[in-house]
Amino acid sequence: MSDPATVSESLLTARLYPWHRSLWQQLAGDQYKLDNFPHALLLSGLAGSGKKALAAYLAQTLMCHAPVQDSQNGSLQPCLQCRSCQLFNFGNHPDLFYLSTPDDKKVIPVESVRDLIQWTVLSSQLLHKKVVIIEPADAMNQNAANSLLKTLEEPAANTVLILVTSKKQSLLPTILSRCQSIDIALPEPAIARHWLQEQGIEQPELMLALAAGSPLKACDLANENAQAVRKMVLDSILQIASGSDDPVSAAEQLFKLTSSKKTKTAKSKAGQNNISASAFDIIYWLDSAWTDLARISQLQALTDARSFISNIDYEQDLQQLLNRLYLKKLLQLSDSVNKAWYEIQGSVNFNLLLEKLLINWKDCLK
């Protein structure tokens, strides 16, 4: 059976983000709510909404031996001083079981859920609540999900199951019906921008646009490597459109990014990290640029088309392409990109895939 003392390590980023505060009042507004907490909770929301951090923070609060009141709104928070909080922060809490996909798999297998079920019937080692976090819950295969049903129907005493997902619709209806469901929304743009500024993120408006409104994803995209990759991808698209580069050469240059390695040695010699990217990164930015073009072409009559696109710093460059585009071919290209998302998860020749996509892009231009 999996050792629960080792599975909480990745949850050390337990955190209550500013946009979670009103929701936190519903979850932990007072001691009565914690004492009568539902045995199964489903936290769902878009990627980057902070679901996992909230689940971890909730787990720590539920297991805390002496929760304290927030001075501003009276809601309860972990004390950070008791034995339970200390074990949680060290990443080896014996009453927390974190279940996710194994490193070598894309799904949570039924064997892992069976290990979890065996663990739930054991007594709490700290004589308090036990908490299970399953993330992402949609990664359970059908056998795993079915195995969990009995535990959801007949939960062990003082045990809370927290399921976390970005794909609520992928869960079995029988799972959904046995959980109290909470949807976590992305924050309002003004709140997100303010938070990003507090984190020291430059160009918060741009980063937020690139991340489709997710402040956590915006933080990830703000690093120099990610922005260098984005610039190379978008510049390649524009250079093909201007005739200063051809699809085959551009595909080769982008493909080379997937074999680049960032090393300390390279940094010391060149003064900066080598630019590197995964196939997913490159497809992400291609998709982003071509989606922006499709949106701009369909929203030309709107004076605020900027609010609907991601690459707002490239808006003028993209606008200049509108009169040269075959919209029907551009939409067909979008379908090809959607297919590429699935292809790169298998054993596809990524260089040839890039060539095909960029040749199709050139065909979109008059």
3-state secondary structure (DSSP) of residue 14: coil
Cβ-based neighbours of 238, under 8 Å, separated by 6 or more: 317
**pLDDT > 70? residue 295:** yes
Q: Are 134 and 117 in contact (CB under 8 A)?
A: no
Q: Which domains does the chain have, with CATH numbers?
A: 4-185 (3.40.50.300), 223-363 (1.20.272.10)
Alpha carbons 357 and 341: distance in angstroms, whole number: 12
Q: Are 93 and 9 in contact (CB under 8 A)?
A: no
Mean pLDDT of 162-168: 96
Pick from 157, 170, 141: nearest CA to 42: 170
pLDDT in tens, 228-283: 999 999 999 999 999 999 999 999 999 999 986 544 333 333 334 588 999 999 99
**pLDDT > 80? residue 55:** yes
Given this model, what pLDDT does residue 7 score? 44
pLDDT in tens, 20-52: 999 999 999 999 899 999 999 999 999 889 999
3-state secondary structure (DSSP) of residue 332: helix
User: Over the Cα atoms of the chain, what is R_g?
Assistant: 24
Taken as a whole, the chain contains a residue count of: 366
Structure tokens at 62: 């539920």
Structure tokens at 237: 């698209």
